[in-house]
């Protein structure tokens, strides 16, 4: 089957909603239509293997390369796919660029160590049979497919050469992984010698898709949320975010499938932020409903809505949000997903006692919202992440063994407990 480059301009904004998560109770699959007609790709031969949500350039916590962008530089990025195939392609995003983005060349290869790749594995990518592509401001582009056999849970390296000045870069802040930069054109290098700079973020790369190797099935899973979905607090380079752990459970059960992480650290359902992306009710259509082959979304988001007014000194504060407003945001998101035939798993918000969000008002809202998640019937299933990681002796606090140390984000063991709370058969 031939493939062609898909370049899209920005999707129109939509009123959708955002999320949360909790111990799965299977309900019925909603009656639904086909995947969105405006999906970023035809969903037939392709399925998502890795993804991240792009957002605007920012540097609230640590320096990165997003605000300056790139010029005559090569960026090499390592990601781990969650399902395998016999061919691959990538998606690049210029969603928050203000000028067209010129990609002079791109390659995909098997990861070796650090910035090096395995000998003989480099494949040059094309875009409409050309090795270069210009992505309009606000747009995305998918490469042509290339023969590239990859297995579930295997790491691949994507390298971009950016010859012309890019201006500020669309990126993803909290990668929990290392990206590398070199001066000049090193897209086909096997060794990592030229890549003398590193960053903890991803740039322009927003997806890796695979085809072949398995019958086409609509069984993909998207995890949507904030920093706890994004994996903040997990061990860098270890792929121990809860979506990673979930993908490992599927692979161990002999039925690997795409588990796509669309969390953004600091993101909110109802408020835009200056540093953590568009609100969930705006970005859901762009990030989730455009993914091919998705059957289920796990929604874990809302603690930043309740605590965002306390963020002074860390980030710009946002308006206070009521339990009712957050719940309506979730209902709107469920409606949007159901209209595309996608099931929704709602999740309870995890404990925050001892963190900078720990106030009586925030805790009262968290408890009330979690009660609503468990009892409202708004979702097709529920997973109780709150109870999965709470300390039985003090349920408002995270169990110390699961705590990354800030009393808000789980560590590796906590993310593993969250993944184990999910029912694979329900998903």
DSSP for 334-397 reads HHHHHHTT-EEEEEPPPP-TTSTT--HHHHHHHHHHHHHHHHS--SSEEE-HHHHHEETTEEEE
Q: Which whole number is the average pLDDT over 153-175?
A: 98
Band of the pLDDT at 9, cuts 50, 70, 90?
A: low
Band of the pLDDT at 21, cuts 50, 70, 90?
A: very low
In percent, how much of the chain has pLDDT > 70?
89
Spatial separation of the C-alpha atoms in residues 127 and 407, rounded to whole Å: 45
Q: Is the pLDDT of residue 42 over 50?
A: no
Residue-wise pLDDT for 218-246, tens only, equals: 999 999 999 999 999 999 999 999 999 99
Spatial separation of the C-alpha atoms in residues 402 and 416, rounded to whole Å: 9
So what's the pLDDT on residue 312?
A: 55
Q: Do residues 141 and 135 touch, judged by C-beta distance below 8 A?
A: yes
The angle, 0 to 180 degrees and rounded to 10, between the axes of the packed helices 360-375 and 323-339 is 40
Reading the block at residue 11, the tokens are: 């999707």
Of 343, 135, 379, 104, which is closest to residue 219 (Cα–Cα)? 343
Q: Which whole number is the average pLDDT over 352-367?
A: 97
Band of the pLDDT at 8, cuts 50, 70, 90?
A: low
294-300/343-347 β-pairing: parallel
Beta bridge partners of 394: 391
Superfamily of the domain at 216-420: SGNH hydrolase (3.40.50.1110)
Q: Which whole number is the average pLDDT over 367-396?
A: 98
Spatial separation of the C-alpha atoms in residues 124 and 161, rounded to whole Å: 11
Band of the pLDDT at 310, cuts 50, 70, 90?
A: confident
Band of the pLDDT at 60, cuts 50, 70, 90?
A: confident
**411 or 39, which is more confident?**
411
**109 or 14, which is more confident?**
109
Spatial separation of the C-alpha atoms in residues 338 and 295, rounded to whole Å: 10
In percent, how much of the chain has pLDDT > 90?
84
Domain boundaries, the chain: 54-208, 216-420
Task: Give me the DSSP letters along 303-332.
Answer: HHHHHGGG-TTTS-------HHHHHHHHHH
Residue-wise pLDDT for 294-304, tens only, equals: 999 999 999 99
H/E element holding 420?
Answer: helix 412-420
Q: Which whole number is the average pLDDT over 348-357?
A: 97
So what's the pLDDT on residue 213?
A: 84
Give Cα separations from 336 to 44, 201, 256, 388 (angstroms): 22, 30, 27, 28
Spatial separation of the C-alpha atoms in residues 339 and 331, rounded to whole Å: 12
């Amino acid at each position: 089957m031939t493939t062609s480059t898909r370049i899209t301009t920005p999707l129109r904004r939509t009123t959708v909603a955002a999320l949360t998560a909790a111990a799965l109770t299977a309900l019925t699959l909603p009656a639904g239509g086909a995947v969105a007609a405006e999906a970023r790709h035809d969903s037939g031969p392709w399925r998502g293997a890795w993804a991240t949500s792009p957002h605007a350039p920012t540097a609230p916590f640590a320096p990165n390369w997003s605000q300056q962008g790139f010029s005559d530089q090569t960026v090499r990025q390592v990601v781990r796919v969650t399902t395998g195939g016999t061919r691959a392609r990538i998606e690049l995003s210029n969603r928050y660029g203000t000028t067209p983005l010129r990609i002079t060349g791109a390659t995909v290869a098997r990861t070796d160590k650090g910035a090096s790749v395995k000998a003989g594995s480099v494949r040059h990518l094309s875009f409409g049979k050309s090795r270069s592509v210009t992505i309009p401001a606000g747009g995305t582009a998918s490469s042509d497919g290339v023969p590239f056999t990859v297995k579930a849970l295997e790491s691949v390296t994507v390298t971009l050469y950016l010859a012309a000045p890019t201006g500020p870069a669309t990126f993803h802040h909290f990668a929990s992984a290392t990206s590398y930069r070199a001066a000049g054109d090193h897209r086909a290098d096997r060794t990592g010698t030229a890549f003398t700079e590193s960053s903890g973020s991803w740039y322009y790369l927003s997806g890796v898709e695979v085809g072949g190797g398995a019958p086409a099935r609509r069984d993909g899973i998207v995890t949507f949320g904030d920093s706890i979905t994004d994996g903040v607090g997990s061990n860098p380079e270890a792929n121990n975010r809860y979506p990673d752990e979930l993908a490992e459970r599927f692979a161990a059960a002999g039925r690997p499938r795409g588990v796509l992480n669309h969390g953004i650290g600091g993101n909110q359902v109802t408020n835009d932020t200056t540093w953590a992306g568009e609100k969930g009710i705006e970005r859901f259509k762009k990030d989730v409903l455009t993914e091919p082959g998705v059957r289920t979304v796990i929604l874990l988001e809302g603690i930043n809505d309740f605590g965002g007014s306390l963020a002074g000194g860390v980030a710009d504060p946002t308006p206070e949000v009521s339990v009712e407003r957050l719940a309506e945001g979730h209902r709107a998101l469920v409606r949007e997903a159901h209209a595309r035939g996608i099931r929704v798993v709602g999740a309870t918000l995890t404990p925050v006692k001892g963190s900078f969000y720990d106030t009586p008002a925030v805790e009262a809202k968290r408890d009330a919202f979690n009660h609503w998640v468990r009892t409202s019937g708004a979702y097709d299933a529920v997973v109780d992440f709150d109870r999965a990681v709470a300390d039985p002796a003090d349920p408002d606090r995270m169990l110390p063994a699961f705590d990354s140390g800030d009393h808000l984000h789980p560590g590796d063991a906590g993310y593993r407990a969250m993944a184990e709370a999910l029912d694979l058969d329900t998903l």
